[in-house]
Structure 1
């Protein structure tokens, strides 16, 4: 089955957009600095992305999510914005973006862009005006507070990037708040003018043709105006989901610096703007180690907030187990029965899951296939991070080559995010894996070049082939796209569930053990022709090979 729509189908889709397209969509994340360089400067760009859209469509994705390409000093590589309505010249121009959107739409791909609204760069004109004095038009556009009588910061809030969340400004003789780098001051969402300006910006991009947004740090928009200290967390409650274990950020219960109740009203205003466009959608990133599922439920409830959210449960260092899959999904289903999640195993901020989970697997390729099968059959939308479909492991970057300020700050216990951000590898024979003809902004590891696209396309049994085949299989079985999910009891190390769209019931089972497994279902099952190799007998017993899976239709 071709993933390309006919011209007639695309015309009808344009005239009658599907407002529900996001539900069950496969979203391919592009980190633009590292996807494809079109001009030899060693940095990926929008024209490079255009060159590779056919690859993404052929893989079977429904949409692309492009990480920030706005003008920026690049101290946090685009997540520090100086102009919300432009394109940084290193990536191209607004016209390049318009053409990219048109090309993507002609291939049937939706386009989502990354909005970083909780903070800006300290070089943004808004902040330059805000810090100039205490009574200018934008004096209250950022979070400012007086020092304590002894000159110390207003409270104990911490930055995710290390140290205090407050930085002294000698112009205003006040502290400003920054949840991330000191060069990323937080916007004051309690000011309605800030909200209005950001929502106007959202409208601007929707008018340019984007189909939706990924909202960075969605629960960081508001802070408590009380500026109360965050209480400490007992050591046994600390985890490394939101920040690495070496970061004292994990020592606090972040009750007052984020995840405030006022956020919901802003999300309703945001959704109202999206609803002016028939098929616009958004996915929010929730970073809260203690209350993530509670926040996901709150932010996705009903039809007037965010369409879908994701948390860090499957992005955390903990190994993927059958028990964990069931625990995380059931926690979400209980907390957000009418909500929708977007599941991801890797992204630009965490160690690639091929290394995080599979580094010590005896058969890493087989392991990556079975965990991909889980990702593609869970109830929810799916996010794939560039290179994941090749099975790329985390790159080992030397200290001298590091670019990420997060890694430089916590080296060597935490090496930062550069290992997941190295250039995409297209060719095993071309310099720099075919990414650039110049010097790449991060080195291309030899181990990645050996796994390049040209080594896997057309090769039966490759990770790429598995991803493409399974996504095609998923698309042809709508119960796997939008159906309900019900777990069934299984032996240890096996997770199984039934997807049901009201017409078809499909059993999905996965064995995360290095030995074979089988279990009685009590169901009449017909094996479906998925890329998985499990079998079912006439007795209804499902037989799974080591690190194997099974998908079968339940007989009516």
Structure 2
């Protein structure tokens, strides 16, 4: 009951402090997901309604008012299906049920209904590449070579240990004189091939050994997986985020992946996944999947986990000119690209590229697999100020946007300090080079009270971050200049200003190394100016006179300005305004 009272308190505070959140008003005929704000929920860590230390579906339902008033358009719930939890839900043993630790199918139905009553869409994570090794399909498949499911997974006899071309890496995994058929590696370390004595064969697993890859070259597999998706579409879900979608197919000839210099975090040779990832056959599946999903009403949507090096590769996931595959492949380059850094030049370059796709961009800065952006782009001193700049990039760029629970309040990455505290399999096998993903999955911080309002349990599945007394929803709602209220202000503008929703994006003053400036076009255009430096940046005093209407600003001295004359952007300052007869030139 104490937890419920805290939840009600947090929701009440949001209601009393909330900025007006006008509903999105897309032009006629445009889908709901265009310029939408998606909010990723890791169910284990969002809200624990029954005091067992693990978040659950009812906990999500209890916070739907918060999400609605915050301005979210859709929630994406990471896997809540029955699972042995080897990879915390990404090893699924039943696609058409709910894991008891998260609740029941009835709880999920209530969540979907309650979300829809609040005009919130619900997306589920769909893991198509692999199942759990405890899934009945795999239990049958691994039992013999002649059962009805024998060809539902990727099996191989392996090769003789002395066969020509066998690498030293393969030689580590000898079984009955046989070694894996090639040098492919698991993301979690070691060979991607696991021996099963009952079949006297290896099965392929790109991820954990308990996550055998499905054989998508078998039409029966596609039929079964599409049926699982239909099960949830029939129950009212509004779409899916497709996990590891690029990995559905492997080279049927099992060529070795090219070896690169050095070793990875697990001590294995570095490889380029030329033959084990991103094969062209996946696009045929996506076209059929898109057609299936579009047979349902309501603009159901497919979001793809797509880590691509550039826009040319990203474009393929839309389906090219036909746009018949994913509606929203994730553009992860600005937030997670190899060269990503907190600089005007980086974001100007990467966001200019993002605008070149012919579909709707989807920008991502945070998720459950990467250290939180407040740490990745922070400098240890101005992290919150920099996080406000990242929020502005996320919410004023021409794109749909995806955020992650905790990011809008500035939750930080809390990496385990001892290997014995690690829960993530990636951290267990990769320690100490790779300490896993527990740090970005800690419990949501709702209040400054016990266990941050996440749970009444004495011990939670991961410890609550130590900063929860100041970094939490309840406290930040009462602070006008908090990161949370900055997010809410930008979200409200995104919904109320047509230019921020639909306007084309034009970059201005493109040689300025400290300040990023862009214009969102429309009958009433909006200009966004961001200072990426720790020094004030004056505007050009020689620019033409004219008025501006300030919409949002991180600095009080900008809030009531009506002219650009003499204006200075403070360190890490953001200013969003409407120009009235102004020509904008930033000072060098």
Q: TM-score, normalised by structure 1?
A: 0.90
Q: Which string of whole-angstrom CA distances, capped at 9 and with x for unpartnered residues, describes residues 112-153 of structure 1?
A: 111111111011011111111122211111111221121221
Alignment partner, residue 34 of structure 1: 45
Given that 2:515 and 2:532 are in contact with CA atoms closer than 8 Å, whether structure 1 keeps it comes out as yes
Q: What does residue 297 of structure 1 align with?
A: 315
**Shift of residue 287 of structure 1?**
3.3
Deviations 1:445-500 (A, max 9, x none): 22133312111112111111111111111111122123222222141122222222
Find the partner of 1:497 among 507, 518, 528.
Answer: 518
The answer (yes or no) to whether the contact 2:553–2:573 under 8 Å persists in 1 is no
Instruction: Name 1:407's counterpart in structure 2.
Output: 427
* Paired position in structure 2 for 1:242: none
Asked whether 1:326 is paired with 2:348, we answer: yes
Equivalent residue for 2:96, pick from 73, 85, 100 = 85
Count of paired positions: 534
Distance in 2 (CA, whole Å) between partners of 1:72 and 1:292 is: 35
Structure 2 residue aligned with 1:101: 112
1:37, distance to aligned residue in structure 2 (A): 0.7
268 and 398 in structure 1: CA distance in 2 versus 1, 3 angstrom threshold: same
* Structure 2 residues not aligned, in runs of 5+: 1-18, 162-177, 582-588
SS in 2 for 1:510: strand
Contact 1:79 1:116 in 2 (8 A): yes
The yes-or-no answer on 1:368 pairing with 2:368 is: no
Q: Within 5 Å, which residues of 2 pair with 1:24-423?
A: 24-150=35-161, 151-233=178-260, 246=265, 251-278=270-297, 279-288=299-308, 291=309, 293-300=311-318, 301=320, 302-313=322-333, 314-315=335-336, 318-334=340-356, 336=357, 338-358=358-378, 360-399=379-418, 400-423=420-443
CA contact (8 A) 2:156 2:201 kept: yes
Contact 1:470 1:531 in 2 (8 A): no
Residue 526 and residue 485 in structure 1: after superposition, are their counterparts in 2 closer, same or farther (change >3 A)?
A: same
Alpha-carbon distance in 2 for matches of 1:532, 1:447: 23
1:522/1:506 Cα in 2 relative to 1: closer, same or farther (>3 Å)? Answer: farther
Give the whole-Å Cα distance in 2 for the aligned partners of 1:212 and 1:58.
Answer: 22
Partner in structure 2 of residue 547 of structure 1: 572
CA–CA separation in structure 2 for the residues paired with 1:247 and 1:340: 37
Query: How far did 1:234 drift?
Result: 5.7
Aligned residue in 1 for 2:471:
451
The equivalent position to 2:536 in structure 1, one of 509, 512, 516, is 516
| Cα distance change on mapping 1:293 and 1:173 into 2, 3 Å | farther
Distance 2:511 2:527 in 1: 12
Structure 1: unaligned runs, 5 residues or longer: 239-244
- 1:94 offset after TM fit, Å? 0.9
Given that 2:87 and 2:424 are in contact with CA atoms closer than 8 Å, whether structure 1 keeps it comes out as yes
Shift of 1:19: 5.7
CA distance in 2, matches of 1:542, 1:380: 29
Q: Shift in Å at residue 247 of structure 1?
A: 5.0
Q: Determine helix, strand or coil for the equivalent of 1:433.
A: helix
CA shift, 1:155, in A, is 1.0
Cα distance, 1:299–1:525 mapped onto 2, change above 3 Å: farther
Offset from partner CA, 1:535-556 (integer Å, 9 cap, x none): 8885678632110112222447
Q: CA deviation at 1:191?
A: 1.1
SS at structure 1 position matched to 2:152: coil
* Deviations, residues 319-360 of structure 1 (Å, cap 9, x unaligned): 3322221222233334x2x122221211111111112221x2
CA contact (8 A) 1:4 1:107 kept: no
Q: Aligned partners of 1:522, 1:122: CA distance in 2, in Å?
A: 66
- Preserved contact between residue 38 and residue 72 of structure 2 (Cα < 8 Å): yes
3-state SS of the aligned residue for 2:506? strand
- TM superposition shift of 1:506: 1.9
Structure 1 CA distance, aligned partners of 2:547 and 2:186?
52
Structure 1 stretches of 4+ with a deviation exceeding 6 A read 539-542
1: CA distance, partners of 2:430 / 2:130: 22
Secondary structure, aligned partner of 2:92 = coil
Larger radius of gyration: 2
Residues 133 and 139 in structure 1, CA contact (< 8 A), matched pair in contact too: yes
Is the alpha carbon distance of 1:406 and 1:292 closer, same or farther for their aligned partners in structure 2, counting shifts above 3 Å?
Answer: farther
For residues 173 and 518 of structure 1, do their structure 2 counterparts lie closer, same or farther at Cα, with a shift above 3 Å needed? farther
Offset at 1:519?
4.8
Q: CA RMSD in A?
A: 2.5
Corresponding residue of 1:22: 33
